[in-house]
């Protein structure tokens, strides 16, 4: 689709059902009915950055910070593998405590479990990304958040969007399955820029795209801003499926945070991945990117059972393989 077509659909709510059904069909035809579960380990909520929307921003002195060190992290990883996860995702704030050597060691250890490994630890240099890749990391998640240059600047003081693009192209060139995505509903974000975001996913040939509504956090400068619209976020996700038919698209936690059926609705509108948390309760509430996050009172077993039940209830199955992107032969 071109930009105008995307804008027209985003502006027109009379065809939403058609859009969601079509995205569901394209998902079925291209990536099938299996849902890939990725076990998410949020291993540090310490962050040097100041993203205006994020509860983990360094200026937020009210949250209790934590780091999970290697030995404990490996316990969660092992448990997740025993529960059947074939992909683990290591996510953190931008925490320089985990330097290249520490990360490489963790990656080596996790890869011994015969799982696919995704990193989501922010902007790094080419050499760092290369070291992680050489150590065995398979995938990397780094949302562009918004492709609107002005909005990006306002939301991310002191950093520049060019470096984020550079990171994403470095990741691609190093052979990572590269995930990106955006927030929907940031203050002053336009429909036009959301269309540009989708065009960017296509241009990058992203292997994964995660989309979620913006949810205001009390302890950020955007505390009083309006939250993002669930249905608009879902439309951006469905349009992403139409334009990148064979990629992996998660039903995001943020979707379920603002709509109790959010992940099921997303799985029925183009999504084929869910990322349940596999750490213990003591950390969950502290990884408060936004308020109201689901699953903070559950343990890994409960989340696994809960999400499997939901997946089966809509006639889908849980994938048993590592869930790499299946690119169709052209
Ligand atoms: N609301 C919704 N999503 C958020 N993220 C960060 N802050 C918020 C918020 N307030 C998302 C960003 C980031 C991902 C890990 O969480 O898109 O990439
Ligand atoms: Fe955690 Fe449902 S996935 S409780």
80 contacts 31 by C-beta, under 8 angstroms: no
Q: Output the pLDDT for position 329.
A: 45
Distance 62 CA to ligand 2 centre (A): 26
Nearest-angstrom CA–CA distance, 189 and 163: 21
Q: Output the pLDDT for position 328.
A: 54
- Indicate which atom in ligand 2 lies nearest the CA of residue 298: 4
Check pocket membership of 164 for ligand 1, CB cut-off 6 A.
no
288 contacts 265 by C-beta, under 8 angstroms: no
Protein residue with least CA distance to atom 15, ligand 1: 289
Check pocket membership of 302 for ligand 2, CB cut-off 6 A.
yes
Distance 324 CA to ligand 1 centre (A): 24
Q: Which of 148, 143, 130 is nearest to 186 (CA)?
A: 148
pLDDT along the chain (330 residues), means of 10: 98 98 98 98 98 98 98 98 97 98 98 98 98 98 98 97 98 98 98 98 98 98 98 98 98 98 98 97 96 95 96 98 75
Q: Output the pLDDT for position 330.
A: 41
Distance 51 CA to ligand 1 centre (A): 9
Helix (H) or strand (E) segment spanning residue 41: strand 34-44
Check pocket membership of 300 for ligand 2, CB cut-off 6 A.
no
User: Which ligand is the nearest neighbour of the Cα of 219?
Assistant: 1
- The string of DSSP codes covering 45-97 is ---S---TT-TT-TT--SSPP-B--HHHHHHHHHHHHHTT-SEEEEEE-S-TT
Q: Considering just the CA atoms, what is the radius of gyration of the chain in Å?
A: 18
- The string of DSSP codes covering 261-307 is THHHHHHTTT--EE--B-S-HHHHTT--SSTT-TTTT--HHHHHHHH
User: What CATH fold (topology level) applies to the domain 3-314?
Assistant: TIM Barrel (3.20.20)
Protein residue with least CA distance to atom 1, ligand 2: 303
Q: Output the pLDDT for position 326.
A: 73
Check pocket membership of 258 for ligand 1, CB cut-off 6 A.
no
């Amino acid at each position: 689709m071109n930009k105008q077509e995307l804008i027209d659909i985003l502006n027109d709510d009379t065809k939403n059902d058609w859009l969601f059904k079509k995205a569901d069909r394209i998902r079925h035809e291209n990536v099938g009915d299996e849902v890939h579960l990725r076990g998410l380990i949020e291993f540090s909520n310490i962050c040097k950055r100041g993203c205006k929307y994020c509860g983990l921003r360094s200026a937020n002195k009210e949250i209790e910070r934590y780091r999970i060190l290697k030995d404990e992290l490996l316990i969660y990883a092992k448990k997740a593998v025993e529960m059947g996860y074939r992909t683990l995702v290591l996510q953190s704030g931008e925490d320089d405590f985990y330097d290249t050597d520490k990360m490489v060691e963790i990656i080596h250890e996790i890869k011994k479990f015969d799982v696919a490994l995704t990193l989501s630890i922010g902007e790094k240099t080419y050499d760092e990304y290369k070291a992680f890749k050489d150590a065995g990391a398979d995938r990397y998640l780094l949302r562009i958040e918004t492709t609107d240059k002005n909005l990006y600047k306002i939301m991310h003081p002191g950093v520049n969007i060019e470096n984020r693009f550079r990171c994403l192209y470095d990741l691609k060139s190093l052979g990572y399955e590269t995930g990106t995505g955006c927030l929907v509903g940031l203050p002053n974000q336009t429909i036009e820029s959301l269309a540009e975001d989708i065009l960017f996913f296509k241009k990058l040939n992203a292997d994964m795209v995660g989309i979620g509504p913006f949810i205001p956090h009390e302890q950020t400068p955007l505390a009083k801003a309006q939250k993002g619209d669930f249905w608009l976020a879902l439309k951006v996700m469905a349009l992403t499926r139409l334009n990148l038919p064979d990629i992996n698209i998660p039903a995001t936690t943020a979707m379920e945070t603002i709509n109790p059926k959010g992940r099921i609705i997303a799985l029925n509108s183009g999504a084929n991945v869910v990322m349940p948390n596999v750490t213990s309760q003591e950390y969950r509430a502290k990884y408060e990117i936004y308020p109201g996050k689901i699953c903070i009172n559950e343990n890994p077993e409960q989340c696994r059972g809960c999400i499997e039940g939901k997946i089966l209830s809509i006639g889908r199955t849980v994938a048993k393989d590592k869930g790499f992107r299946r690119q169709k032969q052209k």
